[in-house]
């Protein structure tokens, strides 16, 4: 009879899980920066454990996740519609507020129609995989979001990558491409680099080579454009970009995603996108929150002005300290340190001093390009940013990370 305490060997498939020790090793060293438990609203300040921290790692660019109007809309929707839709958009899960939100988003993006998905990730997954067939080609920037890459993997077309934000590299790929449908997919604002896509040049190439253009405006909505409506409007190219994708989890203070395009494209996706058809609908609370946030963004342009004030204040001060911010042009400020361990040490110093930032190390970024990702919000005060800058400077100086010569 076998000993009941004998440890059973895992199935071969799960051996990789048993042998995975990387996270445990980092935790043992005291440098584990992920899955930090926040016990407060996502605001300019958050509570971790019993400690108040200044949040400089959020994608809530408009600072609306704790806005009373957004919370009220979510509560009222829950009271009216319940906690969920109990089905997909395709069958029993389409509410009148889903349609209202889609109509508002279409007008906001200057498109004929829009389609709401349950998450931003699913939006890219469901759009690209539905549109790109076996005889088609999809061209993606090497720094495109993971959801774009996975959407390409689910499609049956040929995936071709071009150098980051490099139209010349894109043209070299386009000019050697065989006949077939072509889709160019780019981020409007790149989530790690913080730079803006060179959309005018990309649109020109798309026209030359008969390709459709899709922008992922997850980090552009609320930030760029005449009314916060994204990269296409920022460049005056609303009529030249075929598909605009956006998320609710950043400026729109909720969770979900949308695709804005022509009536024909949206109608096709409604009946061919597996990620839409086979996923449960966005909850009433999420939908109403996004509607409320959208209205605030449209009616309060001063929020966007404050966001850009905060962006320039932080960027100028960090550069003056001697930090390299790469090609950033937006509220995403990548403080490039280089070495992975230096980034972890800097992160821990800032964390202990009450500053919440995100460390990004290779392989998420190229070797020797590890960075601290700082992002600012419209609701940060000058006093909060001054406090953060003082702590950042002190920590960088103590750790020997400053690039400038001290006077």
Catalytic residue IDs? 191, 219, 250
Chain centroid to CA 76: how far? Answer: 28
Pairing of strands 370-375, 332-338: antiparallel
> Six-digit token pair at 355?
């500053």
Whole-number Å distance between alpha carbons of 323 and 311:
15
Query: Of the candidates 37, 109, 68, which has an alpha carbon nearest to the alpha carbon of residue 259?
Result: 109
Chain centroid to CA 315: how far? Answer: 20
Q: Which H helix or E strand runs over 168? A: helix 167-175
Neighbours of 175 (CB within 10 A): 10
Sheet holding 45-48, edge to edge: 45-48, 51-55, 355-356
Whole-number Å distance between alpha carbons of 125 and 117:
10
- Dihedral pair phi/psi, residue 356, rounded to 5°: -95, 110
Peptide bond into 398 cis (omega under 30): no
Q: What share of the chain is helix, strand, coil (3-state, %, to 5)?
A: 40, 20, 40
Whole-number Å distance between alpha carbons of 71 and 41:
11
To 10 degrees, the CA torsion angle through 258, 260, 266, 271?
-10
Are 370 and 338 contacting, i.e. CB atoms less than 8 angstroms apart?
yes
Whole-number Å distance between alpha carbons of 30 and 8:
31
Whole-number Å distance between alpha carbons of 333 and 29:
27
- Residues found in the chain: 407
């Amino acid at each position: 009879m076998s000993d009941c305490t004998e440890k059973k060997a895992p199935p071969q498939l799960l051996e990789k899980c048993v042998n995975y020790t990387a996270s445990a090793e980092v935790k043992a060293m005291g440098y584990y920066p992920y899955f930090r438990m926040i016990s407060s609203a996502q605001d300019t300040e958050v509570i971790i454990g019993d400690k108040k921290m200044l949040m400089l790692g959020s994608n809530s660019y408009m600072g609306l996740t704790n806005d009373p109007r957004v919370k009220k809309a979510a509560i009222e929707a829950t009271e009216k519609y319940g906690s969920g839709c109990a089905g997909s958009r395709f069958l029993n899960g389409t509410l009148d507020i889903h349609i209202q939100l889609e109509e508002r988003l279409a007008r906001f993006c200057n498109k004929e129609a829009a389609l709401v998905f349950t998450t931003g990730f699913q939006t890219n997954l469901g759009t690209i995989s539905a549109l790109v067939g076996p005889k088609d080609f999809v061209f993606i920037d090497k720094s495109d979001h993971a959801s774009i890459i996975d959407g390409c993997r689910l499609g049956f077309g040929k995936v071709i990558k071009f150098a980051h934000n490099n139209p010349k590299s894109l043209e070299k790929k386009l000019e050697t491409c065989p006949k077939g449908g072509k889709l160019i997919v780019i981020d409007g604002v790149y989530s790690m680099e913080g730079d803006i896509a060179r959309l005018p040049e990309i649109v020109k190439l798309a026209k030359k080579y008969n390709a459709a253009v899709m922008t992922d405006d997850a980090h552009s909505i609320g930030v760029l454009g005449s009314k916060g409506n994204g990269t296409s409007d920022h460049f005056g190219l609303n009529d030249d970009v075929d598909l605009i994708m956006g998320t609710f989890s950043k400026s729109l203070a909720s969770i979900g995603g949308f695709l804005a395009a022509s009536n024909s494209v949206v109608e096709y996706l409604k009946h061919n996108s597996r990620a839409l058809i086979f996923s449960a609908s966005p909850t009433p609370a999420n939908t109403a929150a996004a509607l409320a946030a959208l209205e605030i963004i449209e009616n309060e342009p001063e929020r966007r002005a404050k966001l850009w004030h905060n962006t320039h204040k932080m960027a100028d001060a960090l550069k003056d300290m001697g930090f390299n911010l790469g090609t950033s042009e937006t509220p995403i400020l990548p403080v490039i340190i280089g070495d992975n361990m230096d980034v972890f040490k800097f992160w821990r110093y800032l964390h202990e001093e009450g500053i919440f930032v995100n460390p990004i190390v290779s392989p998420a970024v190229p070797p020797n390009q590890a960075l601290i990702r700082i992002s600012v919000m419209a609701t940060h005060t000058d006093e909060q940013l001054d406090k953060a800058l003082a702590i950042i400077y002190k920590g960088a100086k103590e750790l020997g990370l400053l690039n400038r010569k001290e006077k």
